[in-house]
Amino acid sequence: MFSILADVNPYIPAPSFLNSGDTAWQLTAATFVGIQSIPGLAILYAGLVKKKWALNSAVMCFYAFSIVLITWVLWGYNMGFGDPVKLGAGWLSQLVGIPHPAIGAAAELGQANIPLAGSGFPPLRFAGSAMIYFQFVFAAITPILIAGAVLGRMNFKAWMLFVPLWSSIVYTVGAFMLWGGGLLAGWGAVDYSGGYVIHLAAGVSGFVAAAMVGPRLLADRASFDPNNLIVALAGAGLLWLGWNGFNGGDPYFANADAAAAVLNTNIATAVALLCWLVLDMFALGRPSAVSMINGMIVGLVAITPAAGYVDGFGAIATGGVASIVVWFTLNKLGKVGFLKRVDDTFSVLHTHGVAGLMGGICVGLFANPAMLEYLGSSADKKKTPDVSVTGLFYGWDPSQLWKQLAAAGVIIVWNVIGTYIVLKIVSFVFPLRASESDIEGGDLAIHGVDPMPA
């Protein structure tokens, strides 16, 4: 009897375009990325900062995560992934999408689609809501990374205004130009999962913000020892494993390339951590836990733009090269000239900005054309070729490397200009820098509570 009723039941669980495996993985990957921010970075920052700033650093993370979600669904998503704003001929109409809400029934339940970029991959097999949420967690983590450059002195009210403005005005442009099918995508530049859109942008913007907000108190710059390294390592571990969703979710399908991206992410991260540890032991004579976290982050960031374009050998090379270069820029170049004068609390310019740049360059060097992101559906590969990227070391064609460098230049220039403008706007409303009494008192002065009393 039950089988007869089942046979005549007229309902189906989902529209024909939807694939449950792709949908489940996209939502899972998005959740992994969200965990990187809360509690991952909140815990990491709270453990690494001086005790009196533990609560403030975590609150900055939770606030940013929340406010970006609201701005993202109301206008930000379509600015990064929607139809372009027609600002003029040519590249002027390839910069940003039209701002409008993305949370109507049709947008949430209908088939996900990126209008300008959609011809570069198969039709997506999940609902728009899955894509909106997946891209939100990327948008949210970026200003949280910027926070790492200004911890210990930024006015919280200024932070509350800065985050939605920066996310709306600056982040969406970079996302549209590379991921939304805009200007840089049209040039042929690639960013698998955010080495440019997120990390290079955060590193550059964080440095600009640190310069404009000003340094911490001299006493804090001289002594800013972590208050709880075990807590910091727990946050770092959430960041590492959360990165499986960061890179594994970006083919937009639960396919072979997604699996390769996850494996390559972990390979590059392990190599970078070990290289950094060895360099520290030679330079300092001992292993440093804080520096080891830096090495881990550099590996994660560097492989991000390359994760599905390189094979395992390319992942080893990317992790090793990036770790050595960033260790040098942070420990040597960062201590001279203008870089020394700017108080970038957690060296975000180096661990995210330089690491993201190195990852983009490594795409131009190590991308293996046999690493297929999508398969051509036609027997005639000239009509529907497989989708992959070819680096310099596979055929000695430097064209992809030049594209990566050009895209990096655009992202750097845009984030310097855009972040400066946003911070100037904020400064007309609130002081960028906390009052001296707030900087002296930290959590107790700003939030009225000491989260870790003696």
Residue range 21-30, pLDDT digits in tens: 999 999 999 9
What is the distance between the alpha carbons of residues 52 and 267, in angstroms, rounded to a whole number?
36
More confident residue, 40 or 291: 40
User: Which tokens belong to 146?
Assistant: 């910027």
Residue 219's H or E segment, with its range, is helix 218-222
85-124 per-position pLDDT tens digit: 998 888 889 999 999 999 999 999 999 999 999 889 999 9
- Rounded to an integer, what distance in angstroms lies between the CA atom of residue 91 and that of residue 301? 29
Backbone φ, ψ for residue 365 (5° rounding): -100, -45
Confidence at 452, pLDDT banded by 50, 70, 90: low
CA dihedral 295, 370, 260, 40 (to 10 degrees): 40
Going by pLDDT thresholds of 50, 70 and 90, the confidence category of residue 450 is confident
Residue in this structure with the two tokens 């820029």, named with its chain if needed: 329
As a whole number of angstroms, the distance between CA 211 and CA 3 comes to: 70
Helix (H) or strand (E) holding 188: none
Q: What average pLDDT does this structure show over 317-325?
A: 98
Contacting residues for 372 by C-beta, under 8 A, at least 6 apart: 256, 257, 386, 387, 388
Q: Report the alpha-carbon distance of residue 18 to residue 145 in Å, rounded.
A: 34
Count of CB atoms within 10 A of residue 408's CB?
24
Report how far residue 169's alpha carbon sits from residue 351's, in angstroms, rounded to the nearest whole number.
Answer: 24
Residue 386's closest CA among 374, 395, 378? 374
- The structure tokens listed for 154 are 């930024």
Q: Is the pLDDT of residue 167 over 90?
A: yes
